[in-house]
Structure 1
Amino acid sequence: MKKISLLLVLALVMLTQGFVSAQGVLTFEKEVHDFGTIPQGVPATYDFVVKNTGNEPVLISNVQASCGCTTPEWSKEPILPGKTAVIKAGYNAAAMGQFNKALTVTSNGTPDTQMLFIKGTVVEKSATPAPTKAQLENSPKINLASSTYDFGKVEKGQKVTAKFSVKNTGKEDLTVSKLQSSCNCVVYKMSPSVVKPGQSAKLELTYNPQVLSNRIETVNLVSNDITGSPATITLKANVVESLAKQSAVKVNKASVPFK
């Protein structure tokens, strides 16, 4: 009888240990990001990368900002063991001075709540003199043949490419100095890099999505065109964990015999 009781106790202990050891664990690459100095009125964003280092999926149920000036975005899909996700923190930089804002991440993982912080200093945006009439008349002018592209379904972490035609309808050489995107997940290549008046160039955007959802990314092309706002391109994608899994499901459904 004593042996049976001992075996039952040992089995209960092993079962309890199994439940305890089965858990998801959120591990962040960094918990504090310093934007440094940013100009007033220019929104700033940062992607906090988090990895599930446990052995169970983790679902982030909420990310609460300490003020309305901070807007978080996060993946609504479970983070599988060994996989990573991104929590995007955006700050509107409306008020001048130092800031230190908190984000509270709630999940079913360990720990169930986690604090993230963004900080920096907002300074007055430097004023630039308005261009003269002659400068405006002689400025290069960027013109896009199309300004949107829908990639359809894309795997998370998969690099996909969209091509655009850029024409210079101004009177001076056109150059694109940089690309701006809130996700920091788009890079560009333009050939030729200098576009003569009346000529066109091929613009190639490479998109590498890191967040699962229907995404709309706004990309600004910063150039030496002083006649208006930066040229804007809108990229769309339905970012999924795996296209292979979805293809397998479709094949299985199609292979069901007729009744």
Structure 2
Amino acid sequence: MKKLTVILLSILASQLSPLQVNAQRLTVKTTTIDVGATGYEQPVTATFEMRNKGLRRLVIQSVKPDCGCTKIEYPKEVGIGERFTIKMTYDARMLGHFQKMCLVKSNASKKPFYLTMTGVVKSDFRDYSGEYPIEMGDLLLDKAVLEFDDVNKGDVPEQEIHILNNGKKAMRPNLMHLPPYLTAITSPDHLLPGRAATISVKLLSEKLRDYGLTKTTLYMAHNPGDKVRQDFAIDVATVLLPDMKQFEKENKELAPQLQMSATDVDFTDFGGKTKKTATVTLQNTGVSPLKITSLQLFTAGLKVTLSKSEIAPGQSANLKITGIAEELQKLRTRPRILMITNDPDHAKVVVNIKLQ
């Protein structure tokens, strides 16, 4: 029995030892990066984040790009557990969409792997020449609020945030806490002091669950791994319109019709009071019931009540709006009330609150 045990242990040792010696894990956050748009002869850089999770020192033997138009930066050796980056910089000397690749060889595996950067070079691309009124640490921004208005299911609208590195160190700015229906690409992703960049935020409307208003908050980071700061918040509001195919063409005359006593409410003067109330009358002049399927607020500082959410033909309802003076004075965006209805001519109704 002792001899058999020794033989088995010897076999196991011969099988396990090579695995332990050669065990090497190289993790890559993503192997493909879309750097967005850049201008002709305006080089753009993709930064690939990696980590050596192996049991020995990582040796990068070579990183070869697929053409001479792309420059590569990478460390030769990486310690156990250390994070590192490989950077690809394309010279942008060809107009149109591009896909650049590099082949990475290391002692982590016998098989090499590819890193890919994609984007587009535009002849009419221009650097932002406006102002940056918003300060978030060493980053200056042209806006901190994004609004995707009148979106139909299937649309993929895009908006831009222009940023400037006002500090003394290079940074890699990005937006944190992106929900599934938003994507954000910073170009260039490596921002030197005094240089500007653009963050392109794209809305994937197919991934929105509900019609009407969807709000979320993103947070600006100077570098990956930064902690969330409330004073670095970016507010995003989206209005998804309902599908009105049921009232197309011959069915249009059967639709409800909304008439309102007002779409603007004046809250410029509170008369020294802390609150002010106004009432808007909603009337259905159509031949089928008018349904208010969504009643939402774009900002704080308001309270609303609707006497009924379904209005029969010839009937009316009251929308009571109460403004709170102290809260309205602190707003960064204009206060509004959103209603989604089944009137095909008024699927989205906005009640504007005037403060000045």
Query: Which structure's relative contact order is higher, taking Cα pairs within 8 Å and 6+ residues apart?
Result: 1
Which structure would you say has the larger Rg? Answer: 2
